[in-house]
Amino acid sequence: MATADDQNLSLGKLKRSRDGTNSYTTADTSLGAQNDGSSQTKMSDFSITAVDNSLSGYNYLWEQTTEGYHMTFANAGSLFLSKLGSRDDNFSWAKGWADSVIEITATAGYSASFAAKAISNARTGDGEVNPFPAGSNNVAVVLTASFAEDGQSDGYNDHATRYNTNVNQSITIVDSYGGSPSCLLVGTPVDMADGTTKDVEDLQIGDWVMSMNMPGQLDEDEASWRKCRFPDSDDFTQHSASVQDINFDFSYNYWNINNGQEMITGEHEMLYRPPESSGKYTYLQVWGWLTAPNMLVGGSLMDKNGKAIEITSLENVVDNDEGFEVVQIDVEPLDVYFGKTFLVHNKGSDDDPF
């Protein structure tokens, strides 16, 4: 790359950005020395034109996990990252005022690791004002980083846009409620109220999804909502519900129903009707809420038209190494929505102690 028109090609400043020696008024070094003796070095090899205006890394950080974030740069020379970008003294990292929920665990120049602490699920009862009360759901945090060589305002790359300027990244620390995720796999298309579909990970707070009005269904704030039973679905009608919350997580297994008609974690309730009989057992033909591990092949799940679809296969898919990215949403005022094919319930607010 070429150096910028207004760049001060100071060998002394370059040396200071490499080792912190404040000798930029008298360049007591050589250009080759800044590249470990190479004679093929150019000043532009250490140059950038801009610091990008956001950090690179996940927007969602699950409680009690650690993720890496890093700064990025425009038109970085071939030696910039290895010689200047690797030096801690050229960078400043911060985490806003969210000391109670996140900490910086390591820095390596233009990269840093942030660890989210556990978010408590029980009220403390101390009555104190706390910006992150125990039992809160997700927590918004702002990560901040800046690039200024050796902490100086007049560094070798002081010509670059956003040099010595804070770059911010807003992230969300997700409260897992201390339990297993109850979610759909990333990539699951969700029916929207307007007849379109969105992949579950692309949903936004305030989106309206297709739902089902179910007379007699208790609100999820009632502890006994899972006990609701429906002899038939004649009174069910399509409706809509608004997305109020979105949580991202990883699960080490999920259930593949009917060869991909639904891929869902085993903690997620779905509207289910058992088969008329299985082996020596005969079942009452009513609809109710059940999780996939407790279902039987031959039972039925409900599609968006209120039609019973027979379960022909149930497969538990496990990956204990990498796991699977999953997304959980909460919708209101109705507590149900459709996954790829079938009617499912919110996680259930009785998992939230208040």
pLDDT attached to residue 313: 97
Cα of first residue to Cα of last residue in the chain, in angstroms, is: 58
Span 222-274, pLDDT tens digits: 778 888 999 988 889 999 999 987 877 778 889 999 999 999 998 889 999 99
pLDDT attached to residue 212: 94
pLDDT attached to residue 185: 92
Give the phi and the psi of residue 282 in degrees, each rounded to 5: -115, 135
Of residues 58 and 196, the one with the higher pLDDT is 196
What 3-state DSSP class applies to 311?
A: coil
Q: Would you place residue 349 in the very low, low, confident or very high pLDDT band (cuts 50, 70, 90)?
A: very low
pLDDT attached to residue 183: 85
Residue with token string 């101390």: 126
What is the C-alpha to C-alpha distance for residues 204 and 59, in angstroms, rounded to an integer? 14
DSSP assignment of 158-205, as one string? TTSBTTT--EEEEEEEEP-TTS----EETT-EEEBTTS-EEEGGG--T
Domain assignment present for 1: no
What is the C-alpha to C-alpha distance for residues 142 and 297, in angstroms, rounded to an integer? 48
On the 0-12 / 13-18 / 19+ scale of CB atoms within 10 A, 58 is middle
Angle at 342 between CA 262 and CA 192, to 5 degrees: 100
Contacts of 231 (CB under 8 A, 6+ apart): 285, 286, 287
What is the C-alpha to C-alpha distance for residues 45 and 14, in angstroms, rounded to an integer? 11
Cα–Cα nearest to 268, from 191, 212, 338, 184 = 184
Write down the pTM of the prediction.
0.53
What is the C-alpha to C-alpha distance for residues 183 and 291, in angstroms, rounded to an integer? 11
Domain assignment present for 89: yes
pLDDT attached to residue 139: 79
Domain assignment present for 116: yes
Strands (E), 27-65: 50-51, 60-62
pLDDT attached to residue 250: 76
DSSP for residue 342: B
Last-in-domain residue among 174, 200, 226: 174
Co-location of 24 and 60 in the same domain: yes
pLDDT attached to residue 131: 36
Co-location of 193 and 342 in the same domain: yes
What is the C-alpha to C-alpha distance for residues 254 and 182, in angstroms, rounded to an integer? 10
pLDDT attached to residue 296: 93
Of residues 122 and 79, the one with the higher pLDDT is 79
Q: Would you place residue 309 in the very low, low, confident or very high pLDDT band (cuts 50, 70, 90)?
A: very high
pLDDT attached to residue 75: 94
Co-location of 119 and 224 in the same domain: no
* Identity of the residue numbered 184: L
Domain assignment present for 229: yes
Domain assignment present for 4: no
Co-location of 261 and 204 in the same domain: yes
What is the C-alpha to C-alpha distance for residues 189 and 260, in angstroms, rounded to an integer? 12
pLDDT attached to residue 232: 82
Co-location of 158 and 76 in the same domain: yes
Q: Would you place residue 175 in the very low, low, confident or very high pLDDT band (cuts 50, 70, 90)?
A: low
pLDDT surpasses 80 at 22: no
What 3-state DSSP class applies to 66?
A: strand
pLDDT surpasses 50 at 178: no
CATH of the domain at 231: 2.170.16.10
Q: Are 309 and 300 in contact (CB under 8 A)?
A: yes
Domain assignment present for 65: yes
Co-location of 147 and 220 in the same domain: no
Span 26-42, pLDDT tens digits: 545 555 555 555 556 78
The two tokens of residue 350 are 């009785």
pLDDT surpasses 70 at 293: yes
CATH of the domain at 37: 2.60.40.1080
Question: Half-sphere exposure (CA, 13 Å, Cβ side) for 207?
Answer: 23
- Residue ranges making up the domain that contains 325: 184-351
Co-location of 277 and 322 in the same domain: yes
Domain assignment present for 303: yes
Co-location of 46 and 158 in the same domain: yes
Co-location of 337 and 217 in the same domain: yes
pLDDT attached to residue 135: 35
How far does Cα 290 stand from its chain's mean position?
27
Co-location of 89 and 27 in the same domain: yes
Longest dimension (CA), the chain: 93
Span 205-231, pLDDT tens digits: 899 999 999 999 988 877 788 889 999
How many domains does the chain divide into?
2
pLDDT attached to residue 354: 23
Mean predicted confidence (pLDDT) in 124-152? 64
DSSP for residue 120: P
pLDDT attached to residue 18: 87
pLDDT surpasses 80 at 23: no
Helix count and strand count (H, E) for the chain = 1, 26
Co-location of 217 and 150 in the same domain: no
Last-in-domain residue among 140, 174, 208: 174
Domain assignment present for 270: yes
Whole-number percent of the chain with pLDDT over 90: 49
Last-in-domain residue among 174, 204, 238: 174
Co-location of 101 and 241 in the same domain: no
* Identity of the residue numbered 55: L
pLDDT attached to residue 280: 84
